[in-house]
Amino acid sequence: MAKVSAKDLGEQPISKLLIKQAVPASIGILVMSLNILVDTIFVGHWIGSIAIAAINIVLPVSFFIAALGMSIGVGGSSIISRALGASHYEKALRTFGNQITLALLFTVSMVILGLTFADSIILSFGGKGAIFEPAKIYYQVVLYGVPFLALCMLGNTVIRAEGKPKFAMYAMMIPSVSNLLLDYILINVLDLGMHGAAWATTISYVICFVFILWFFLSKNSELKIGLSHFGLNYSIVKEIASLGFVTLARQAVVSITYLFMNNILFDLGGETLVTAYAIVGRMLMFALFPVFGITQGFLPIAGFNYGAKNYERVRESINTAIKYAAILATFVFMLLMIFPETITKMFTSDIAVIQQTPNDMRWVFAATPIIALQLIGAAYFQAIGKATPALLLTLSRQGFFFIPLILILPNFYGELGVWMSFPISDVLSTLVTGYFLNREIKRDLIAKTI
């Protein structure tokens, strides 16, 4: 594999560069999503449909804690991309060291709190009735591996900020493949049930961490930090926090959404509706992998060129990313509208769940073709270091529109009101993002190139 220099982000043609950055990111997200998808299929068939609901209860909690690492990673990587673009290498090194220190402090503290209040947390996220016990088993084991997952998420964003998308792809593929192999051994062969599913996930996080540690210690990384870089610097921490809070707030809202959804759906239809939502949620993670890949590939390109004051290239990267992402999102939409029954049967043989899920899936993905603008628009503000608009646009879909809708519409339309909330919030958030992105391009990028 040819060595990729960070300077390529400011020199190669945007279309070629975006594909070069996005394809490895997409493959990595695909493998990670397939891991979640196949893991759910294994659990559904080898343990039972209740186990799918149990994992769905735990994921928002564990992912929120891990998102502390990812938010620190994304916030710091925005700084690193711009610092490399401006040839400020010492700032890039100090930022990376500060990221590691912050991630360890926050995630370990959150895991301790999470284990201390395990029962209350599981119940509050909808782990009721038959779901509680398997959820608790999975929760307690998986939380031990969450600090490793957080460091993996952090490291992955920094690898991409260096302009090394293939290594970032490997970092996402390795734990996914290992998790599936461990699932087969621990669940199917050794018959360890939920314990097996949980330990397979935790061990895969550790394997991922080992790979990322190797990358930064090897000659492949340009960021060679020393002990002095781990000491917290106020100005860098402040900038990491302001930008990283966008990602953390997004995951916090996702976790709150799961809390509301699991409780509302359990009250409306019990374990069957919670399981249906779990399956739809897996498809939300899996089906949109190429769109998320474009978004991940776009971030370092926009950040580097903005730092280098190549504003025309920034504009071109925005337009190209939106175009590619919209085409892929439309393709995903068509597949999900045509084959929801087939997809549902992959997860379970439970007749009630099979009858329930396809119509729900069609509602959830009804506005998929337009989400590219919302994702790229929000990512742009984060890439250039404008934390406030990035935060507001990131929160617009679920925080400002979706959560209020799921609290209001079910009072008038029952269960249907829950599923209607998805496309309505997609449309509203896309309109808002389009307005602010267009205004920013005119005020900032076009004005600076005149």
Give me the residue label for tokens 């930022």. 95
- 5 pLDDT higher than 60: no
* pLDDT, tens digit, 9 for 90 and up, residues 244-266: 776 777 777 877 888 899 889 98
Q: What percent of the chain has pLDDT over 70?
A: 95
- 4 pLDDT higher than 50: no
Of 234-238, 249-253, 287-291, where does mean pLDDT reach its minimum?
249-253
Q: Where are the alpha helices (DSSP H) in 129-225?
A: 132-161, 165-183, 193-217
* pLDDT, tens digit, 9 for 90 and up, residues 100-140: 899 889 888 988 998 999 899 888 887 888 889 888 999 99
What is the CB neighbour count within 10 angstroms for residue 445? Answer: 18
Tell me, what's the pLDDT at 450? 57
Tell me, what's the pLDDT at 113? 92
Tell me, what's the pLDDT at 404? 94
Tell me, what's the pLDDT at 61? 77
Residues 6 or more apart whose Cβ sits within 8 Å of residue 341:
354, 358
Residues 6 or more apart whose Cβ sits within 8 Å of residue 449:
311, 312, 315
CB–CB of 440/309 below 8 Å? no
Tell me, what's the pLDDT at 416? 93
Query: Tokens standing for 188?
Result: 């199917």
* pLDDT, tens digit, 9 for 90 and up, residues 432-450: 999 999 898 888 777 666 5
* pLDDT, tens digit, 9 for 90 and up, residues 368-398: 999 999 999 988 988 887 878 888 888 888 8
Tell me, what's the pLDDT at 150? 85
Of 9-13, 216-220, 269-273, 400-404, where does mean pLDDT reach its minimum?
9-13
Tell me, what's the pLDDT at 361? 93
Among 281, 40, 67, which residue's Cα sits nearest to residue 138?
A: 40
Mean pLDDT for the chain? 85
Whole-angstrom Cα distance, residue 422 to residue 341? 19
Of 189-198, 285-294, 315-324, 413-422, where does mean pLDDT reach its minimum?
285-294
Maximum mean pLDDT: which of 278-287, 361-370, 437-446: 361-370
Residues 6 or more apart whose Cβ sits within 8 Å of residue 147:
69, 103, 104, 107, 108, 111
Tell me, what's the pLDDT at 32? 65
* pLDDT, tens digit, 9 for 90 and up, residues 33-44: 666 677 777 888
Tell me, what's the pLDDT at 3? 43
Query: Tokens standing for 392?
Result: 């507001």
Tell me, what's the pLDDT at 326? 93
Please work out, in degrees rounded to the nearest 5, the angle formed at the alpha carbon of residue 310 by the alpha carbons of 308 and 311.
Answer: 125
Look at 167 and 24; give whichever has higher pLDDT.
167
Query: Tokens standing for 366?
Result: 């009804």
Query: E-assigned strands of 14-128?
Result: none
